[in-house]
Amino acid sequence: MTTQYYTASSLDGFIATPDDSLEWLFPLGDIADTSYPQFFARVGALAMGSATYQWMLDHVVKPGSPHGGKWPYEQPTWVFSSRELPPIPGADIRFASGDVRPVHAAMQEAAGGRNVWLVGGGGLVGQFHDAGLLDEIIVQVGSVTLGAGKPLLPRMITSPPLKLVSARQVGTGFAELRYEVPRPPSPGRPPVAPGDPAA
């Protein structure tokens, strides 16, 4: 069971524009050409922040609109928010706030041995990282720059650095990068990566 941050980012490190738009992303390629289908097949539970959930409401579900769609996830989804947000009838959505650690434990139990997907945004993922709960980052780096926006992961991660596991080209629009997130070293011990026997 792995806790993964799977997302797309501009070349200069933003996952959305300042007003949370993703319109820059969709012309860059087909999601079916990335690792997403195989990745998603192994997901047992999801977590997202309020801005990501609001984007899903506004652009996918569109409550009250004749052009609305279904909630795309059958897996239980935790939405972290300090404000009240509307639920979606028929969707397994659980609202949470505060410390991510007890929620992560509930997510692992609900995932039933499958992986936990941190959908975003970067601030929420940073909280999982700070708690030592983030195992892997998979990012589709798009061939555009935004200049400003919502950062990929607003944390300084330098010691130990992330471990690049793979990199591959996806068409002309994306470079898919996969990183392991090493555990911070304990006093007197070297850093340990999630896949190492000592992890």
pLDDT tens, position by position, 36-68: 999 999 999 999 999 999 999 999 999 888 888
Give pLDDT, residue 190.
Answer: 47
In a domain? residue 131: yes
Indicate the average pLDDT of the chain. Answer: 91
Task: Look at the chain and report how many structural domains it folds into.
Answer: 1
Give pLDDT, residue 68.
Answer: 83
Mean pLDDT of 98-117: 97
Give pLDDT, residue 198.
Answer: 38
Give the residue numbers spanning the domain of 79. 3-63+73-166
- Contact of 3 with 118, CB cutoff 8 Å: yes
Give pLDDT, residue 184.
Answer: 66
Give pLDDT, residue 165.
Answer: 97
Number of other residues whose CB lies within 10 A of the CB of residue 81: 16
In a domain? residue 99: yes
Share of the chain above pLDDT 70, in %: 92
In a domain? residue 185: no
In a domain? residue 58: yes
Instruction: State the CATH number of the domain containing residue 106.
Output: 3.40.430.10
In a domain? residue 43: yes
In a domain? residue 194: no
Amino acid identity, residue 83? R
In a domain? residue 40: yes
Rounded-to-integer distance, Cα 97 and Cα 116, Å: 18
Contacts of residues 38-44 at CB distance under 8 Å and 24 or more positions apart, as own/partner, are 39/4, 39/6, 39/117, 39/138, 40/117, 42/114, 42/115, 43/75, 43/111, 43/114, 43/115, 43/116, 43/117, 44/1, 44/75, 44/110, 44/111, 44/112, 44/113, 44/114, 44/115, 44/116
Residue 183's pLDDT band, with cuts at 50, 70 and 90, is confident
Mean pLDDT of 23-36: 93
Q: What is the pLDDT of residues 159-174, one digit of tens each?
A: 999 999 999 999 999 9
In a domain? residue 95: yes
